[in-house]
Amino acid sequence: MTTPPVGTDPRLRAALRRLDLRIVHRLEGLLHGEHLGLRLGPGSEISEARLYQPGEDDVRHMDWAVTARTTVPHVRDLVSDRELESWTLLDLSPSMDFGTGLHSKREIAVGAMVAANLLTQRIGDRFGAHFLHRGTVRRWPARSGKEALLALLATVAAAPRVDEYEPSPHRATLADAVEDLVRTRRRRGLRVVISDFLDTPAFGGEVAWERPMRLLASRHQVLVVEVIDPRELDVPEVGDVALRDPRSGLVRDVRLTRTVRERYRRAALAQREAVRGALRRSGVHHLVLRTDRDWVLDTARFVLEQRRTAHRLARHTPGAPR
């Protein structure tokens, strides 16, 4: 997947600007992108107070409030500020091109990828991407800055929307893509996985991507964005229709009766529950975006709830900074 030239493409720049304005205007103040390092050192974020060591500690780090309460000199350790390296796994399978709402699933997935990068990017931070496209895992190198984000957006826009029903036993699956992300990106940071998870079995069976997702979450902070279209949850009673699977190319004539509709709804709900259960067991953050809803507003609500949860946990954690 090559990166096309973007410097003279006004459409991509306009699209990125619209996304930037929508996201920043709605989410500014909810998530500022602060991220703490994993070790103590020079920085701006305070950690726990401890006894002052003469000749070793800098008096500029004196915690005067604790010193006054205890009458013993205390200093505050600082958490070192470190650059964040974030990687996004974007599912560009043919099923992501489907959409009966305001947008296609692919459009929302791309918007979620851009939103994650805009919200977490600061000076020195880098972001990269892996794409599951045409049965192959393709990689986009980690870079920083708006121009890099524009190039990433151009790369996704240039990816052809083609069917994947050429028979091949070697096509990569979502599980393969997550495993590739685990194996190749070991530096701790943020990982974002965006997919519709339609290859998840509805009624029992092994969820192939669950184990690599657990491995990913054991080392990184992981956000999973599940993109759903309402027609994947329910179908109308419209009689005879021809349905084609975009992955396999199989076409089947189906009579959509009330009985078929109920069976379909049960299977769809079972599949969504299987996805939720696997993600819950993996210990990741889970955001659901729908094509018939305002995905920016849903993202804002999710971010706000995550921030409130983090603040509640911080207040009830012994030794956490106030």
- Largest Cα span, the chain: 84
Helices 146-158 and 105-120 meet at what angle, rounded to 10? 170
CA atoms within 13 A on the CB side of 268: 15
Q: Which amino acid is at 139?
A: R
Q: DSSP secondary structure string, 183-217?
A: HH--S-SEEEEEE--TTS-SSSS--TTHHHHHHHH
* Least confident stretch, 33-42, 50-59, 205-214: 33-42
Task: List Cα–Cα distances, 297 to 22, 24, 39, in angstroms.
Answer: 10, 12, 35
CA atoms within 13 A on the CB side of 158: 14
pTM of the model: 0.76
Q: Which two tokens stand for residue 214?
A: 């657990």
Just give the CATH number of 10-29+83-315: 3.40.50.410
Most confident of 7-16, 166-175, 247-256: 247-256
Cβ contact 117:149 at 8 Å: yes
- Over residues 126-183, the pLDDT tens digits come to 899 999 998 899 999 988 888 888 888 888 888 887 665 555 567 899 999 999 999 9
Nearest to 130 by CA among 91, 78, 83, 171: 91
Q: Where in the chain is the domain with CATH 3.40.50.410?
A: 10-29+83-315
Cβ contact 228:194 at 8 Å: no
Nearest to 220 by CA among 38, 81, 31: 38
At residue 282, the pLDDT reads: 95
